[in-house]
Chain A
Amino acid sequence: MAETSGDRGFREGAVAVVPMAVAVFGFGLSYGVLARAAGMGGVAPVVMSITTFAGSAQFAAASVLQAGGAAATAALSALMLNARYLPIGVTVAPWLRGSIWSRLLHAHLTVDESWVIAAEGTGRWNPRVLLAAGMGIWIAWVLGTIGGVVFGDVIGDPARLGLDAAFPALFLALLVPQLRSTERTTQVAGLRIGAPPPAIAALLGAAIALTLTPFTPAGVPIVAAGAACLIGLRRRP
């Protein structure tokens, strides 16, 4: 494995993140509107965007609170949805060589979008790009939340604007470039399948998630889908 983590720097990360940051600003607006409507007040949603900084988890917590759920239920559903950040954190860890504070900062700025932008392929990540992209997403998310909390009455119901469909569309746009691979076939359980490993992992991940959705609390299907990456496990030499 190469010791360098790629030629891209902070600047390239900052440029690459701009279109996604605009989309995330829109999600932030819809989160601000929904959180306020859920009775979270004006300040708590903004503080949550600054500190928790994870879209789907914050939406989940707001909807539990709106339904009159307990604090523990709301926090737990948020953490379930964020459980994927445990393995995601492990994937970027080898490329974070700074002090503990630097590593904590990079960890906090690791979200789906920045993690994907910073990926250099073949299991390598670029910490400078991660930092720049993470900061871009964070600023957009926090500003969007403030906008949603303040201008909620003007914006109206985010579902009417179709913003809930924008989420999976963004993830699909992030997924497609990741499906490319130099390998044409995949070896799974002794079988050779005529599709590249990322495509098989994606199909398997989606299948696991949809199968578990009716039977498990939100978040569990996503974490379980992560197990699809184990098809890339090499045999012990």
Chain B
Amino acid sequence: MSTVWIVVIASGVGTLALKAAGPVLFGGKQLPDRFTGVVGLLGPALLAALVAIGTFANGQHLVLDGRVLGVGAAAVAIRFRAPVLVVVIIAAAVTSTARAIAG
């Protein structure tokens, strides 16, 4: 089997295992009360990490490039309650323009 298909199968099986472990093992059971505050904060923590990595990381390096301007413009659009799709298009357009100008 080729390298590509090994990756496709291993990643598919592994990802489903990660996603399904909680629902299969604890499906329908309430978590202890101590953890109710914790699960509500997992979203903000993970999303903020994804924003930070997506804006500044290039592999293992932290860089400042056109993405910073794009995400900054997106933040302004969000502040003015723009729809999600508009926010995403603004980010792509500003980044693409910055790259075109920078050559």
Q: Which residues of A contact B (CB under 8 A)?
A: 1, 19-20, 22-23, 26, 39-41, 44, 47-48, 51-54, 56-58, 61, 65, 70-72, 74-75, 78-79, 82-94, 96-98, 100, 103-104, 106-108, 110, 112, 115-116, 119, 121-123, 159-176, 178-179, 197-199, 201-206, 208-210, 213-218, 221-222, 225-236
Contacts and interface: CB of A to CB of B under 8 A. Distances in A.
Nearest 8 A/B pairs, CB to CB: A168-B54, A89-B22, A162-B95, A232-B37, A169-B91, A225-B49, A165-B70, A205-B45
A168 B15 contact: no
B45 A225 contact: yes
Contacts of B44: 175, 178-179, 198-199, 201-202, 205, 229
Interface string B41-77: 1111111111111111101111000110011001100
B31 interface: yes
Contacts of A72: 10
Contacts of B87: 169-170, 172-173
Contacts of A75: 6-7, 10-11, 14
Contacts of B4: 39-41, 44, 65
Contact of A97 (B27, B67, B75, B100): B27
A85 B6 contact: no
Given A108-B20, A202-B47, A206-B48, A51 B8 contact: yes
A161 B8 contact: no
A199 B45 CA distance: 9
Given A162-B99, A163-B92, A228-B45, A122 B40 contact: yes
Nearest to B93: A162
A199 B47 CA distance: 11
Given A89-B18, A91-B42, A173-B74, A222 B50 contact: yes
Given A168-B74, A233-B35, 5 more contacts: A86-B21, A94-B28, A166-B88, A166-B91, A201-B48
Contacts of A19: 83-85
Contacts of B57: 210, 213, 218, 221
Nearest to A233: B38
Contacts of B38: 123, 229-230, 232-233
B29 to A, nearest CB: 6
Contact of B54 (A54, A107, A171, A232): A171
Contacts of A201: 41, 44-45, 48
B62 A175 contact: no
A96 B49 contact: no
7 contacts: A78-B14, A88-B42, A97-B27, A160-B100, A210-B52, A221-B53, A232-B38
Given A57-B15, A221-B49, A210 B92 contact: no
Contacts of B52: 168, 205-206, 209-210
Nearest to B1: A71
A88 to B, nearest CB: 7
A175 B93 contact: no
Interface string B77-103: 010000111011111111111111000
Contacts of B30: 1, 94
